[in-house]
């Protein structure tokens, strides 16, 4: 197979190298395009642009495949834990028992948050969105946990990873408790990562929280399914901001801001709000589907469609199954699940959704699962952020080790006015 492609411009031909990935996807390497031809490429939304070569996550949007470090996400969701999957993403291989134990101990050791940071939480308005609080607090972590000159670079990086993975989870629960005006619950060394989170969220002196292993399992799977998704908007933000060699806390804070948007991680909150609106209006999804199809109406079916998946998002299938299991275990019925299923059924028979390849995505069922776990609606995107942390961290780490890594600095095609003179105020 040809290892170059030929580009002809103004009668002159240029050979551009072809790059091939391990799963057969191919790209034209245009790194020297401007130098050799004077041209740049134009790709709004970067839908056709590869920003890096990566060995972390493989996804095939046509076949609905998602693998972390080669392992299908279905297998990880069934057998792994979030901590083990984080290790896999960051280090490239599944850990041996001693490695996993060491990693877990490190997460435990770094799970407390500096007491002085509590006053920050207390001073945010009670109605502040938790994603705004989280991005600010993660950025502030740098001030509380500055560089460690006595450590090697590798040790410092590993400590920073552990701090982020562990403290962000603690801060999320802390911020929830403070927003309620309740006593903060500290992490416990005898609980697993996910059990600890549920305990910090829901334990109270007057109503001790009983840890249910099935719910802990569901939370593990939920976070595993969110753990990485190659060069999505927030990961691209982490890589881009990180490319300026800013500290990791600042880069992750940028990722959290990007994730907040309703077209990205914020969709899990928007889906439940949409399902609730359908429920409140009598339960018939048809008018909402009609609005989503109307080009004059900005409304979109939240939890549907994806830039890469042109078939069912594999994560959505697993989440749907998990929602059913968790609700059964809790012996609870959620009318929003019925609405979601009805909506999916109607949309999947509609030619607009079929022709546009719009299928349920990760966020379609995830909110219903979070409701079942007792997570408040405005924290849904924070749950996504905690899950995505190992992905952001591993992608940042990969970029750090990449010998071809450069400051991210896209070009543009200028379409503004040609050069003109400044006109003084009295002559305008
Ligand atoms: N409802 C109705 N129409 C849609 C939808 C939708 N949810 N999504 C895409 N379309 C239509 C869109 O109107 C356009 O139609 P046409 O070609 O006739 O003008 C066509 O499909 C292509 O849409 P696009 O916006 O150009 O495609 P994109 O790849 O930029 O959009 C998306 C991807 C996820 C932003 C979009 O599908 C969307 O807005 N979905 C709803 C929000 C959502 O669920 N987001 C979560 C994404 S998955 C989790 C994550 O990655 O964070």
- Is residue 315 lining ligand 1, measured as CB closer than 6 Å? no
CA proximity to 178, closest of 136, 134, 117, 121? 121
Q: How far is CA 81 from CA 95, 100, 156, 217, 359, in A?
A: 12, 11, 25, 8, 27
For 314-363, the pLDDT digits (tens) are: 999 999 999 999 999 999 999 999 999 999 999 999 999 999 999 999 99
Asked if pLDDT for residue 190 goes beyond 70, the answer is: yes
For the chain, what percent of residues have pLDDT higher than 90?
Answer: 90
* Residues contacting 374, CB < 8 A, separation 6+: 201, 202
Structure tokens, 243: 């490319």
Catalytic residue among 110, 226, 229, 306, which? 306
b/e 194-216 (16+ beta carbons within 10 angstroms → b)? bbbbbbbbbbeeeeeeebeeebb
CB 175 within 8 A of CB 134: yes
Structure tokens, 242: 């990180």
Q: How far is CA 317 from CA 65, 74, 116, 312, 341, in A?
A: 12, 10, 43, 8, 12
Structure tokens, 417: 């006015």
Half-sphere exposure of 404 (CA within 13 A, CB side): 7
The whole-angstrom separation of Cα 172 and Cα 91 is 25
The whole-angstrom separation of Cα 387 and Cα 402 is 24
Half-sphere exposure of 350 (CA within 13 A, CB side): 20
- Is residue 66 lining ligand 1, measured as CB closer than 6 Å? no
Mean pLDDT of all residues in 202-229:
96
Residue nearest to atom 31 of ligand 1 (CA): 307
Structure tokens, 425: 């105020």
Mean pLDDT of all residues in 128-140:
93
Question: Is position 402 annotated as part of the catalytic site?
Answer: no
What is the reported pTM?
A: 0.95
The predicted structure's pLDDT at residue 2: 66
- C-beta neighbour count of 232 within 10 angstroms: 22
* Residues contacting 139, CB < 8 A, separation 6+: 249, 250, 253
Beta bridge partners of 13: 8
**C-alpha 358 – ligand 1 centre gap (Å):** 8
For 83-132, the pLDDT digits (tens) are: 999 999 999 999 999 999 999 999 999 999 998 888 888 888 888 899 99
* Residues contacting 349, CB < 8 A, separation 6+: none
CB 381 within 8 A of CB 266: yes
The predicted structure's pLDDT at residue 12: 96
Q: What is the CA radius of gyration of the chain?
A: 23
Asked if pLDDT for residue 228 goes beyond 80, the answer is: yes
Which of 45, 305, 363 has the most ligand 1 atoms within 8 A of CB, as the residue to mutate? 305
CB 18 within 8 A of CB 27: yes
The whole-angstrom separation of Cα 226 and Cα 370 is 13
For 53-64, the pLDDT digits (tens) are: 999 999 999 999
Residue pointed to by tokens 């840890």: 211
Helix (H, G, I), strand (E, B), or coil: what is residue 297?
coil
Question: Is position 334 annotated as part of the catalytic site?
Answer: no
- Is residue 358 lining ligand 1, measured as CB closer than 6 Å? yes
């Amino acid at each position: 197979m040809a290892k170059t492609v030929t580009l002809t411009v103004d009668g002159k031909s240029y050979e551009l190298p072809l790059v091939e990935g391990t799963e057969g996807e191919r790209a034209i390497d245009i790194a020297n395009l401007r130098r050799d031809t004077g041209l740049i490429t134009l790709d709004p939304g970067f839908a056709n642009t590869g920003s890096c070569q990566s060995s972390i996550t493989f996804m095939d949007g046509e076949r609905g495949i998602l693998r972390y470090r080669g392992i299908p996400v279905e297998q990880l969701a069934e057998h792994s834990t979030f901590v083990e999957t984080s290790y896999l993403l960051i280090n490239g291989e599944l850990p041996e028992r001693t490695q996993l134990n060491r990693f877990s101990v490190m997460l435990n050791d770094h799970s407390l948050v500096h007491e002085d940071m509590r006053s920050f939480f207390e001073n945010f308005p009670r109605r502040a969105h938790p994603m705004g609080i989280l991005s600010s607090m993660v950025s502030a972590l740098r001030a509380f946990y500055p560089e460690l000159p006595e450590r090697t670079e590798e040790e410092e990086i590993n400590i920073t990873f552990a701090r982020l993975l562990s403290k962000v989870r603690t801060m999320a629960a802390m911020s929830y408790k403070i927003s309620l005006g309740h006593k903060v619950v500290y992490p416990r060394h005898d609980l697993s990562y996910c059990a600890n989170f549920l305990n910090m969220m829901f334990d109270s002196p007057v109503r001790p929280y009983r840890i249910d292993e099935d719910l802990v399992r569901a939370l593990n799977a939920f976070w595993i399914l969110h753990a990485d998704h190659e060069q999505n908007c927030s990961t691209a933000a982490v890589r881009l901001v990180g490319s300026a060699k800013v500290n990791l806390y600042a880069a992750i804070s940028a990722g959290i801001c990007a994730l907040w948007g309703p077209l990205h991680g914020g969709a899990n909150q928007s889906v439940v709000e949409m399902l609730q609106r359908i429920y409140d209006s009598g339960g018939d999804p048809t008018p909402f589907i009609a609005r989503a199809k109307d080009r004059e109406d900005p409304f979109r079916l939240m939890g549907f469609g994806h830039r890469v998946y042109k078939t069912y998002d594999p994560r959505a299938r697993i989440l749907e199954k998990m929602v059913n299991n968790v609700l059964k275990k809790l012996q609870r019925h959620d009318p929003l699940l019925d609405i979601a299923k009805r909506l999916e059924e109607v949309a999947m028979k509609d030619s607009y959704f079929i022709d546009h390849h719009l299928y349920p995505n990760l966020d379609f069922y995830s909110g219903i699962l979070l409701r079942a776990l007792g997570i408040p609606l405005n924290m849904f995107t924070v749950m996504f952020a905690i899950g995505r942390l190992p992905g952001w961290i591993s992608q940042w780490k990969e970029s750090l080790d990449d010998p071809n890594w450069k400051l991210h600095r896209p070009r543009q095609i200028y379409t503004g006015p040609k050069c003109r003179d400044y006109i003084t105020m009295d002559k305008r």
